[in-house]
Chain A
Amino acid sequence: MKFFESLVISIRSLFSNKMRSVLTMLGIIIGVGAVIAIMAGGRGMETAVTSTLEDLGTDVLYVQPTNPDAPGAAGMAPGYAGANLTLDDAEAIARIHGVLGVAPTNESFVELTYGSESLNSVIEGSTPEFQVMSNYELASGQFITERNVASRDNVVVLGSTTAENLFGDEDPVGQRVKINDKRFTVVGVLATKGGSMFGFSMDEIVVVPITTYQARLFTQRTPSGEDAVQSIGVLVAGPEYMDDVRADIETTLIKRHRIDEGDKNDFAIVSMDQMIGIFSQITGVVSIFLAAIASIGLLVASIGIMNIMLVSVTERTREIGIRKAVGAKRRDILLQFLIEAAALSLVGGAVGIVFGWLLSLAISFIATFAGFPLEATLSPVHVIIAVGVSLVIGLASGIYPAMRAARLNPIDALHYG
């Protein structure tokens, strides 16, 4: 018998039991839908983080302290890393050939108060190079200057959202705000940049000189008693300088930190490409993990299909007997029931993909509305995987019932019921 004829028989029998077929498919629809939504959402998150990072500029290296005693990448974890970079290290790096500028940067959270308004914000303590390195434009006023840094001025530049939330329509430049109860003068407001990093908007920040940050806001010392720097952004003249600059930074810091040959470095140099790679790896792992949880739904759905197929085989025992009596072989019966199960799960999978896609659109819409811009992305790979998984589920859950049907003895089957 030809495959096409088996297909026709199977589809007819599915249609003659519409309600049951739809209910059985529902399991697959929800299962595939959930997996697709998670994968598309995860992919969207990855794209959002990646584009935010790329927006920071790719000719940038970041020097970060690490804990040489920690295993693997754990040494770079915040709080675990040592405090061992200083402003002098940054100045030494700035003198390396091919380096256009350095932005030693410390980061924390502060409470910001203006009149009766107050809000929490990310604070960056840095140098003028921070603006270039992070691609910020000014909306009004000016950025912090070298002079501000040199004299530890209490000046602050506001991100656009922070400025709006604190001042509304008022012009913030020249006004005074309180940061952790210390007075700062607003010297500038950044233009809206868009993008976010793990839910923190790039427009909800305030920037102060790093020296002010160290002296007046948060003090953190290196083991030798100097003011510590959390990371040093290094602006490189061009991609062709990248390797040399990286090597020079390493030798400079090894010399400055007096690291013996053979010992582990107490710092790490990370390029933007590496960071992008790390973040996509993280989001990838997270979404695979979530998808794995969601696929429990697929397992349940597959049990549902098997259950319905077993019922269907029992109900149609007589039909199977008739078919066998008029010449159907085991293979024919097997194929008929397998196609039925596969059709159930494939159609369910197809509807599930659409359902999941709509779900991920809804999630992006809600996320964007809530201030975390996210564009869910459905890739062809996801669709192929979903279809493949549905097919495998259909075949796996259909094979046992189909074999039972195919093995029926024609006489017993004909006299059934």
Chain B
Amino acid sequence: MEMIELENVTKVYRMGEVEVYALNGVSVSIKQGEMLSIIGTSGSGKSTLLNVLGCLDRPSSGRYMLDGIDVNRLNDNELAELRSKKFGFVFQDFNLLSRASALANVELPLVYSGGRNKHVKAMEALERVGLGPRAKHKPTELSGGEQQRVAIARALVNSPSLILADEPTGNLDSASTKEIISIFSQLHKDGITVAIVTHEPDIAAKTQRIIRLHDGKVASDGKVDSL
């Protein structure tokens, strides 16, 4: 069953008099349990697509159906609820709260979704990315790879159906990159849908499906083998 269906989605930014199409008629559908990558040169619209997919941003036109819900009809609060229940975000520069411990960072989504047993759930998520022993450390006391694993744990803690990662290894060395990618692969095996925006072909090659964007349009979309 299709979990996500984008139909002819555009995203337009006004730069003074000029209208810039970050997305220009994108139609994509994603099935439950897929692991895919979104690639393209910088400015191709891949981050915008990820933000629209994760309901962080609204499309300017077109239709976005998520599990049969028309997302365009939802208000800001309902979008916030959707983000908290359905999505987990992983960003290039981690975006952790620097003053809070790893555990507190992972608990953050639970604070807003009102879940119980926050400590227990957050510890489970941290253990899943292999950071159980470092739960009390603050982000500044962790390596880049470890910080990104905290961010993944945070994305996981609300049991999302889709994890969206925007250049998750962009700031990491090759060893940490490998670690992070293997964690994503493991999550995929566990049944979680994963979408990764990247410009590194090596990483895209680890996914089963690659969507290539060019000038805000889908240039190609297909299985890795067929490319």
Which of A's residues lie within 8 Å of B, judged by CB? 1-2, 5, 9, 12, 16, 318-319, 321-332, 409-411, 414
Task: Please tell me if the beta carbons of A327 and B113 are within 8 angstroms of each other in the complex.
Answer: yes
Q: Is B200 an interface residue (CB 8 A)?
A: no
The CA of A414 and the CA of B93, in the complex, are separated in Å by 10
Please give the distance in Å from A413's CB to the nearest CB on chain B.
10
Report if A322-B97 is in contact (Cβ < 8 Å); known contacts: A327-B158, A329-B112.
yes
22 A-B residue contacts at CB 8 Å?
A: A1-B114, A12-B99, A318-B95, A319-B97, A321-B95, A322-B96, A322-B108, A323-B108, A323-B112, A324-B83, A326-B84, A327-B109, A327-B158, A329-B77, A329-B80, A329-B81, A330-B76, A410-B57, A411-B51, A411-B57, A414-B56, A414-B95
The CA of A12 and the CA of B104, in the complex, are separated in Å by 12
Which B residues touch A2, using CB under 8 A? 114
Please give the distance in Å from A176's CB to the nearest CB on chain B.
84
Task: Please tell me if the beta carbons of B56 and A411 are within 8 angstroms of each other in the complex.
Answer: yes
Task: Please tell me if the beta carbons of B95 and A324 are within 8 angstroms of each other in the complex.
Answer: no
Which B residues touch A332, using CB under 8 A? 112
Chain B residue with Cβ nearest A414 = B95
Q: Is B154 an interface residue (CB 8 A)?
A: yes
The CA of A366 and the CA of B111, in the complex, are separated in Å by 54
Known contacts A322-B97, A327-B81, A327-B84; 10 additional CB pairs below 8 A are A2-B114, A9-B111, A325-B54, A326-B83, A326-B89, A326-B112, A327-B109, A330-B76, A411-B51, A411-B57
Beta-carbon contacts of B65-101 to A below 8 Å, as 1s and 0s? 0000000000011001101110001010001110100
Task: Please tell me if the beta carbons of A16 and B99 are within 8 angstroms of each other in the complex.
Answer: yes
Task: Please tell me if the beta carbons of A327 and B99 are within 8 angstroms of each other in the complex.
Answer: no
Task: Please tell me if the beta carbons of B57 and A1 are within 8 angstroms of each other in the complex.
Answer: no
Which of B's residues lie within 8 Å of A, judged by CB? 51, 54, 56-57, 76-77, 80-81, 83-85, 89, 91, 95-97, 99, 108-109, 111-114, 154, 158
Chain B residue with Cβ nearest A322 = B95
In the complex, number of A-B residue pairs with CB atoms less than 8 Å apart:
61
The CA of A151 and the CA of B159, in the complex, are separated in Å by 108
Task: Please tell me if the beta carbons of B95 and A327 are within 8 angstroms of each other in the complex.
Answer: no
Task: Please tell me if the beta carbons of B80 and A324 are within 8 angstroms of each other in the complex.
Answer: yes
List 8 tightest A-B contacts by C-beta distance, closest first: A327-B84, A327-B112, A326-B109, A329-B80, A328-B112, A329-B77, A410-B56, A322-B95
Please give the distance in Å from A407's CB to the nearest CB on chain B.
9
Which B residues touch A322, using CB under 8 A? 95-97, 108
The CA of A319 and the CA of B105, in the complex, are separated in Å by 11
Which A residues touch B81, using CB under 8 A? 327, 329
Task: Please tell me if the beta carbons of A327 and B80 are within 8 angstroms of each other in the complex.
Answer: yes
The CA of A325 and the CA of B99, in the complex, are separated in Å by 18
The CA of A12 and the CA of B112, in the complex, are separated in Å by 17
The CA of A1 and the CA of B154, in the complex, are separated in Å by 17
Please give the distance in Å from A317's CB to the nearest CB on chain B.
12
Chain A residue with Cβ nearest B84 = A327
Which A residues touch B80, using CB under 8 A? 324, 327-330
Which A residues touch B114, using CB under 8 A? 1-2
Which A residues touch B89, using CB under 8 A? 325-326
Which B residues touch A5, using CB under 8 A? 111
